[in-house]
Amino acid sequence: MPAGDRHLLLVNPSAGGGRATRLLPQIERELATHELEYRIVRTTGLEHACSEAVEAAAAGDVIVVVSGDGLIGQVGGALVDSQGTLGIIPAGRGNDLARVLGIPTEITGAVDLLAGGVTRSIDVGEVNGSRFLGIASCGFDSDANRIANEARFVRGRLVYAYAALRALAAWKPARFVLGLDGERREVTGYSVAAANSKAFGGGMFLAPDAELDDGLLDVVTISQVGKLNYLRGLPKVFDGSHVDNDEVEVVRVAELRIEADRPFAVYADGDHLADLPATLRVLPRALRMIVPG
């Protein structure tokens, strides 16, 4: 069979609280409807998933990740060096990359796209050598991501609101020292984010003008403002209008250096990828993805 006609489905059993596993019978029925050749590998971790993806891509298979943004980002990063092609069947909590690319979140539409979509090359972000596809951030976002990942009794998109409120209650302003394509700048406030894509956190359009193929990162900083005002501004992130607030600044760079006055983890696609100090850059149009025509 010609290269590209075979599909490796990487299924994360824990994605979306087990949603990926529950969806698998329907996914298989839809694949059969399109007469797509496939095999399934249930992943045991990020390293296992990336290894399987690289090996299959070398054999000419299309890699399809059935999971959330974390595994999609890591597999996508691994495929850069193998020249593989990535497809998505969204099965996580946030599914932000699928949202930005216009990939359906329901199974029938997602599998239809695998059969009839087109290939588009997108940028890949890198933080201290670890790759990501969405938005890498630190500061307040570090605390909120950690709380969201540790949450056991809050489900779905509500976990992001829960995590933000918990983080805000304990938050103290941080001082960040940034290198924006070599230009030094200091920011005191909440967070610094480097956006390869527009959205994170289950539909928060933190960088509404970011493009996945422009070779640049949209750097979003949120300076110090009272907690009540910060809380009032949070709903604006869902339509991107927060960028009009005085405390929010957006600049575009090819490389960003971040240091801070206290330790912070850098999260991207929901996963802890690095720690400050960190250098972030772009690999332009380094990943081929199956997207709507």
Host domain of residue 47: 6-116
End-to-end CA distance of the chain: 24
Query: Distance (Å, rounded) from C-alpha 48 to C-alpha 19?
Result: 20
Residue 182 forms part of a structural domain: yes
Residue 76 forms part of a structural domain: yes
C-alpha 72: how far from chain center: 8
21-66: pLDDT as tens digits: 899 999 999 999 999 999 999 999 999 999 999 999 999 999 999 9
Same domain, residue pair 99 and 219: no
Buried-exposed string 223-238: b where 16+ CB fall within 10 A, e elsewhere = bebeeeebeebeebbe
Where a domain ends, among 85, 116, 147? 116
Residue 290 forms part of a structural domain: no
Confidence of residue 2 (pLDDT cuts 50, 70, 90): very low
Same domain, residue pair 210 and 162: yes
Residue 1 forms part of a structural domain: no
Q: What is the CATH number of the domain that holds 20?
A: 3.40.50.10330
Query: Distance (Å, rounded) from C-alpha 181 to C-alpha 47?
Result: 32
Same domain, residue pair 143 and 244: yes
Does the pLDDT of residue 4 top 70, yes or no? no
Does the pLDDT of residue 99 top 50, yes or no? yes
Residue 291 forms part of a structural domain: no
Q: CA 174, 71, 267 angle in degrees (round to 5)? A: 5
154-187: pLDDT as tens digits: 555 677 778 888 999 999 999 999 999 999 999 9
The more confidently predicted of residues 245 and 157 is: 245
Judged by average pLDDT, the poorest of 120-134, 141-155, 187-201, 202-216 is 141-155
Query: Distance (Å, rounded) from C-alpha 103 to C-alpha 98?
Result: 5
Where a domain ends, among 54, 87, 116? 116
What does the pLDDT read at residue 251? 98
Same domain, residue pair 173 and 263: yes
pTM, to two decimals? 0.91
What does the pLDDT read at residue 129? 94
Same domain, residue pair 142 and 209: yes
Query: Distance (Å, rounded) from C-alpha 280 to C-alpha 283?
Result: 10
Tokens at 261, concatenated: 């006055």
The 3 state secondary structure assigned to 264-283 is CEEEECCEEEEECCEEEEEE
Same domain, residue pair 71 and 97: yes
Residue 160 forms part of a structural domain: yes
Q: What is the CATH number of the domain that holds 252?
A: 2.60.200.40
Confidence of residue 1 (pLDDT cuts 50, 70, 90): very low
Instruction: Give yes or no: 271 in active site.
Output: yes
